[in-house]
Chain A
Amino acid sequence: MSILHRNKPDFSPEKIYKKRRLSLEKQEARAALVFVLPFFIGFVIFGLAPFFYALYISFMDFNSFKSLDSLKWTGLSNYKAILNDSVAISSYFKSFYYTIIYVPLLTVAGFLAAVLLNKSFYLKAFSRSLFLMPYVANIVAISIVFTMLFDPFGGIVNIVLTKIGVDHPPLWFAGTQTAILTTALVAVWANFPFQMIVYLAALQGVPRDLYEAAEIDGATRWQKLSRITLPMVSPTTFFLVITATIGSFQNFTIFNALTRGGPGIASRVASLNMYEEAFSLNHYSYSAAQAIVLFVIILLISAIQWGGQKKWVHY
């Protein structure tokens, strides 16, 4: 075989087809990159970079407002200080307490509302719109309304409780034992419509023939719910539980609007404590260390939830 012959381009149909396919794949890959790039750039600038910066300053002595040029490495001292800070430690427990109230209530409320709205009834579309209203309401407006409702002095809730014979109605937001619970209830009210919509979509995806077969077998309502509906929507439940858990630790807005951490520090959850440390006391590094600890806690909880899904999530 001559050299000329060996270098002759291959114009066979297979080769041309393969080249075109590769070219198309490349084009698609490039197009995909263009579509993904805006998100990726945003994520790096507003997600990853702040995270790594928080990690970095958590090891520095940025605990008074000073020039960045004068920052010094302090190792784990900010993390060690957390261990001796009773307010910081208690703020993590308060966040956890809020989560274990908020997440189950939110999930149950969202599921029950979805089951109700999945049935056929008069003014169904209008009812669905009404259920969505809390989700679009402004948190400040919500805080004003609920502060008035739960006012221990003349609030409608305590007036009703007094009328029905409750001698010492709760102090709600003003009570050390009730502030977090009451805030969690308001947060459930404000956020359950999202769970409801996602559950509604999941419920509509459950095949009707499963219910018909169960009815033929004489299954009760409860049996249909527990043996068909719940297992069939379990991937949705898992998704909602894990996102609600993560979201429940990001609770600064609602606590700031409703209790500001009070009375005293009874509802000073981790996010509020970090804010106070950073922006009232200028303990930026110390606050960043607390944020990293919270991140690790959320990561661990999410990992446990992820590992536990095998036992109850049916794909």
Chain B
Amino acid sequence: MKVIKKAILSSLLLGLVGTSLAGCGGTNNSPGDSPASSNASVDPVTIKWYVTSGNGNMPVTQQLLADYKAESGVNVELQVVPGDGEAIYKKVDVDLSAGGDVDLITMQNAIVLSKYATNDWLLPLNDIYKEAGYDYETKFGKNLNKFDGDTIYTLPDGLVSWVVFYNKKIFDDANVPYPSGEWTWDQYIETAKKLTDPSKGIYGSSMPDYDTILYLLAQQQGVNAYKADGTSNYDDPAFKESLQWYGELGNTLKIQPSWLEIKSKKIPYDAFMTGKYGMQLIGSWYTFAPQDLKTYPRDWKIGLTQIPVDPQGKNGISTSGGIAVNKASKHSKEAADFVRWFAENNYKYSGGMTAQVNLNDEESNKIFTEIAAKFPALDGITAEDLKAALVTPNLGAVPEKITGSIPTDYGNIILQEGELYLVGQKSLDDAISSIKTRANEAIKKQSTIH
């Protein structure tokens, strides 16, 4: 009966999604024929890893797998999921529910991790690492994502901090000094006003259209989105203030495109690279764009600095992803070892920041020097510039996203109801009230239908 059920679900649900992993994207890209393999005489263990088509096709991914095999003798086979971003999880969910035995699942952000962890789909790694004598606390410290107190399902494979990229030409033309060091949102707004020039189609600021941006100030202040009893805390004045503040940037101050303009014109996330925006607030993952002159040709220089803060919340915003192990993995120890290796070494391949906290100055400087070297020479970005923007000892750290019991739903509700305020079709109070009501409904529904 179980076999029949699985067979039916496999065919029907995969049919609903439209593409099957095996049919459309599953490829065996294992570097099994790597000359570096040291265990050629023994049948190596093969573990499978869901990756996006974008990551799967990158040469560095192949190099990374080859290096890991050379070191461990374990094959890591890519299970490429068509699509990019969070869209892949729709297919991953179906595949897992239908009995998919892929060992490793990439957790792109805290919401994804929270969703899989709360659904009890992931293998806790604490015991495996303790048994192997691996001290993950010392390695990753405050950057570890922990659940229910102490449980870890993944190790952070990098660290993304929110920063401000700026267009030096627009600053120079407006005769405005480049920002550096700690600064406030009031200073950011004043700077953006000076940079904005409607006659040239230049906005002083640009921000992404994520849910985070609608509760940015509250997040920086460390306000919890849930009350102690588990219900929504969105009636806290900080959330209202945040939404209103963001709305005014586009609608009243006009230092950046309004939400209506972003949506109706479908302004893309990389619009800053057109050279028409003075500053871009975004995660440090965005460094790939200034580094890529082929896709984003430009003759203007880029700088970067740390995220502005509110006097009530002197916190930077950071997030990290990682790989988690499927609870049903048949090679859990090998999979956990790859998670460890990837978390420790990914920065060498991706060119991003590592989440390891126990690096000495020399190691740390080496990483920043390597990242800086990837920027075009015209930008003149140094390791010190990067350190100043990304390592912010003057600031605390708060997570990027609201997670908790309804991680996906909460963000969706904030975006949907917040949008109505931002496009002028709902009052601020009504929007906040709707977010709280719907979040509470979702929390209740979560317990009703489970």
Binding site for B on A (CB under 8 A): 45-46, 49-50, 53, 61-69, 74, 77-78, 80-81, 84-87, 147, 151-153, 155, 171, 173-176, 261-266, 276, 278-286
Are A282's CB and B119's CB within 8 A?
yes
Residues of chain A with a CB closer than 8 A to B13's CB = 284
Residues of chain B with a CB closer than 8 A to A81's CB = 445, 448-449
Q: How far is the CA of A147 from the CA of B260 in the complex (A)?
A: 13
Q: How far is the CA of A69 from the CA of B4 in the complex (A)?
A: 11
Q: How far is the CA of A261 from the CA of B11 in the complex (A)?
A: 28
A-B contact count (CB 8 A): 114
Chain A nearest CB: distance from B261 CB in Å?
5
Residues of chain A with a CB closer than 8 A to B9's CB = 53, 68
Given contacts A50-B12, A282-B93, A286-B449, contact A68 B119 (CB under 8 A): no
Residues of chain B with a CB closer than 8 A to A49's CB = 8, 12
Query: Whose C-beta in chain A lies nearest to the C-beta of B328?
Result: A67
Given contacts A68-B9, A174-B264, contact A87 B438 (CB under 8 A): yes
Q: Which 6 A-B pairs rank lowest in CB-CB distance, beginning with the nearest?
A: A264-B420, A279-B90, A64-B119, A65-B93, A264-B416, A63-B449
Query: Whose C-beta in chain B lies nearest to the C-beta of A279?
Result: B90
What are 9 of the A-B contact pairs (CB < 8 Å)?
Answer: A49-B12, A65-B93, A66-B120, A147-B264, A174-B263, A176-B420, A263-B419, A264-B425, A285-B449
Are A264's CB and B2's CB within 8 A?
no
Query: Whose C-beta in chain B lies nearest to the C-beta of A61?
Result: B450
Chain A nearest CB: distance from B437 CB in Å?
8
Since A266-B420, A285-B449 are in contact, a sample of 11 more A-B pairs with Cβ atoms closer than 8 Å, ordered by chain A residue number, is A65-B121, A67-B328, A68-B97, A68-B98, A84-B445, A152-B260, A153-B261, A174-B263, A174-B264, A263-B263, A280-B412
Query: Whose C-beta in chain B lies nearest to the C-beta of A286?
Result: B449
Q: Is the interface of B mostly helix, strand, loop or mixed?
A: helix
Residues of chain A with a CB closer than 8 A to B90's CB = 279-280
Query: Whose C-beta in chain B lies nearest to the C-beta of A86?
Result: B441
Residues of chain B with a CB closer than 8 A to A87's CB = 438, 441
Q: How far is the CA of A174 from the CA of B261 in the complex (A)?
A: 10
Let me know if B409 is at the binding interface, CB within 8 A. Answer: yes
Q: How far is the CA of A69 from the CA of B409 in the complex (A)?
A: 26
Let me know if B58 is at the binding interface, CB within 8 A. Answer: no
Are B449's CB and A78's CB within 8 A?
yes
Query: Whose C-beta in chain B lies nearest to the C-beta of A64?
Result: B119
Residues of chain A with a CB closer than 8 A to B115's CB = 282
Q: How far is the CA of A86 from the CA of B12 in the complex (A)?
A: 29
Query: Whose C-beta in chain A lies nearest to the C-beta of B98?
Result: A68
Query: Whose C-beta in chain B lies nearest to the C-beta of A78?
Result: B449
Residues of chain B with a CB closer than 8 A to A264's CB = 416-417, 419-420, 425-426
Of B8, B17, B408, the contact of A53 (CB 8 Å cutoff): B8
Chain A nearest CB: distance from B171 CB in Å?
26
